[in-house]
Amino acid sequence: MSFEDYAALARQLAEQRRAGERDAAAESERRRGLHATVDYLHERLNAQGYRLDQLGRAIGVDQPAGDPAVGSGPSAGPGSGDGGFAGAAGVPGRADVGAYPQLPVGEARLALPTAVSPAGAGVPAQRAPAVDPAVELELARRMADEADRHGQQAELLAQRPALLPTWSPLGRAVAVYAACGVAAGVLVLALVLASGVGLVDGFTLGAWICAGLPALAFFGGYLVLGRWGRPAMVVGTPPRYLPLGFLICFLLVPMAYCGYLLMVRGLR
């Protein structure tokens, strides 16, 4: 072999070494990117789990005992079996991907699935295709985005009260106090009828119409707004419009009595 052949071989080896170094650097960069994505998804899952706990406490649902918190395990590489990111096998709803069983080393070879050949000899079954970590991480990111979207919708629903959720706070308060005043007006009619047959005297009737029933209507509306007019998640105390409720109740009940008197006179 001549010197030129040795020089060409040296150049070829040097080029192969440089190509190997470039491939190693690219693989190392890819692994760093995968680990950075895993850490990012880990933090997002922790934040989502914390927010879900807040929503659960707001609506009165506690986390079951023994239920592990979201993202509580150590951050590990994609496809690892030590409690970290589990890849497609750990994603709910992926019926086409099974979990990765953890078998003892001595039993792993014995537990391999075999396919029976026509001759009757057992041959190892074909291995499942390798999982691409980048694809699995992209699926996990999309699911995290979907979870954020549903979480935002849940927060919007939690910020609405159970009573008349689409109404404004002022409109809800007016409707509640007015409904309580109408209910008190029905009781006014019952008291008037009782007074007509002598069961209630005039002083008691006037006291109930001017003070008792309006006060009951006002406090009834106040309690209803506090119980069903308060969102599950709200900062501070929502307004109950006490002066407005007081005015509505203490005007509506006497007006109901006056309307009843006008109706009786008109019928006569």
Residue type, 248: I
Residues 263 and 191 in one domain: yes
Structure tokens at 43: 């933090």
Residues 18 and 142 in one domain: yes
Residues 51 and 139 in one domain: yes
Q: What was the pLDDT predicted at 124?
A: 58
- For 102-138, write each residue's pLDDT tens digit: 444 444 444 444 444 444 455 556 666 677 888 888 8
Q: What is the C-alpha to C-alpha distance for residues 185 and 175, in angstroms, rounded to an integer? A: 15
pTM: 0.55
**Mean pLDDT score of the chain, rounded to an integer?**
77
- For 237-258, write each residue's pLDDT tens digit: 788 999 999 999 999 888 888 8
Residues 210 and 153 in one domain: no
CA angle 212, 218, 221 (to 5 degrees): 140
| pLDDT of 213 higher than 60 | yes
Q: Do the domain assignments include residue 164? A: no
Q: What was the pLDDT predicted at 63?
A: 55
Structural domain range at position 37: 1-55+79-90+132-158
Structure tokens at 185: 């007006």
| CB 158 within 8 Å of CB 59 | yes
Q: Which residue has the higher pLDDT, 168 or 83?
A: 168
| CB 85 within 8 Å of CB 78 | yes
Burial class (CB in 10 A: 0-12, 13-18, 19+), 140: buried
From residue 70, alpha-carbon distances to 12, 31, 43, 88 in Å are: 52, 24, 10, 17
Structure tokens at 71: 């993202």
Q: What is the C-alpha to C-alpha distance for residues 109 and 115, in angstroms, rounded to an integer? A: 14
The helix or strand, by DSSP H or E, that contains position 253, with its residue range, turns out to be helix 242-267
Model confidence band, residue 1 (pLDDT cutoffs 50, 70, 90): low
Residues 138 and 49 in one domain: yes
Residues 152 and 190 in one domain: no
From residue 8, alpha-carbon distances to 15, 30, 68 in Å are: 10, 33, 62
